[in-house]
């Protein structure tokens, strides 16, 4: 196939360069691509598996790496118990293996530094993946737009990219990260300890709303219930619908 006519939607065979465990349930796969196209933070790739009998299963995974890291992409995948694709990726795929992908796809749930802010990012579980791409891009682009990430995880050990987020929080100007641990908290935990609700969002969004309500951009990603609750609360707090971008996983997650 001539590269000149290639579309991002055409399938290509990617190679697994590295596999990195993030948390007990979550792994990041670094893939190299024969036809790399710089993505925009928030876009995703589709992965397609084909069984010997021809049966195919396909899922979408957000790119977690920044566009500035060219030639390869990070896909962060949570292992879902009965998941057709995630269990294969976790249990079978190793560096050196190949896998069919297409992308980058999606133009609605994207952020790039030129769009400005302030930015409110709200993540539920593995919904952090596309938002991490935005945070990493923000860092690589040298952006200092005021940014707050509200990240909901079950426990401290389930916080994906925890070390990197802690590092970024201390080194990146204007970036604040607030966690809420919904199932169990470490001793001495002084942060939020419940599911995201309107009161929490109101507190987290307040400084950004005060700063520049008209240009505040919000991105919410995670399980459907959490996204629904969050979007509703943000809208009720006076943020216009066009400034609230959501990406929901569906009832069972990615």
What tokens does 102 get? 């297409």
Closer residue to other proteins, CB minimum distance, 71 or 250: 250
Helices 198-212 & 224-236 angle (0-180, nearest 10): 50
CB atoms closer than 10 angstroms to residue 24 = 10
Return the number of the residue (96 or 107) whose C-beta is nearest other proteins. Answer: 107
Should residue 230 be labelled a site residue for other proteins when binding is judged by CB under 8 A? no
- Residue 135 contacts by C-beta under 8 Å, 6 or more apart in sequence? 121, 147, 149, 165, 168, 175
> Which string of DSSP letters, residue by residue, matches 136-182?
HHHHHTT----EEEEEEESSGGG-TTHHHHHHHHHHSTTEEEEEEES
Q: Is 217 in the site for other proteins (CB under 8 A)?
A: no
State which of residues 25, 39, 90, 102 lies at the interface with other proteins (CB under 8 A). Answer: 102
Stretch that binds other proteins, among 22-30, 66-74, 197-205, 238-246 (CB under 8 A): 238-246
Kindly state the tokens that stand for 144: 């200092």
Based on CB atoms, which residue is closest to other proteins, 185 or 224? 224
- Our CB check for other proteins shows the closer of 232 and 238 to be 232
Paired tokens of 70: 């060219």
Q: Is 60 in the site for other proteins (CB under 8 A)?
A: yes
CB of 228 to other proteins, least distance (A): 6
Q: Is 46 in the site for other proteins (CB under 8 A)?
A: yes
Q: Name the residues that contact other proteins, by CB under 8 A.
A: 7-9, 44, 46, 60, 102, 105-109, 224-225, 228-229, 241-242, 246-248, 250-251
């Amino acid at each position: 196939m001539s590269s000149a006519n290639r579309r991002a939607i055409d399938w290509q065979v990617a190679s697994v360069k590295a596999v990195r465990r993030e948390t007990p349930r979550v792994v990041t796969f670094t893939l190299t691509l024969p036809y790399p196209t710089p993505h925009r933070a928030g876009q995703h790739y589709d992965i397609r598996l084909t069984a010997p009998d021809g049966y195919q299963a396909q899922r979408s995974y957000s790119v977690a790496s920044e566009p500035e890291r060219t030639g390869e992409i990070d896909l962060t995948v949570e292992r879902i118990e009965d998941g057709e694709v995630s269990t294969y990726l976790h249990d079978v795929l190793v560096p050196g293996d190949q896998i069919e992908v297409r992308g980058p796809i999606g133009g609605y749930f994207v952020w790039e530094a030129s769009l400005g802010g302030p930015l409110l990012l709200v993540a539920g579980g593995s919904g952090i993946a596309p938002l991490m791409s935005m945070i990493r891009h923000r860092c690589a682009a040298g952006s200092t737009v005021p940014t707050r990430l509200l990240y909901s995880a079950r426990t401290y050990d389930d916080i994906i990219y925890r070390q990197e987020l802690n590092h970024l929080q201390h080194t990146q100007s204007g970036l604040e990260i607030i966690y809420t641990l919904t199932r169990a908290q470490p001793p001495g935990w002084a942060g939020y300890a419940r599911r995201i609700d309107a009161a929490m969002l109101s507190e987290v969004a307040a400084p950004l709303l005060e700063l520049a309500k008209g240009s505040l951009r919000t991105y919410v990603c995670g399980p459907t219930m959490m996204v629904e609750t969050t979007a509703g609360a943000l809208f009720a707090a006076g943020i216009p619908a066009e400034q609230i971008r959501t990406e929901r996983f569906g009832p069972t997650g990615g």
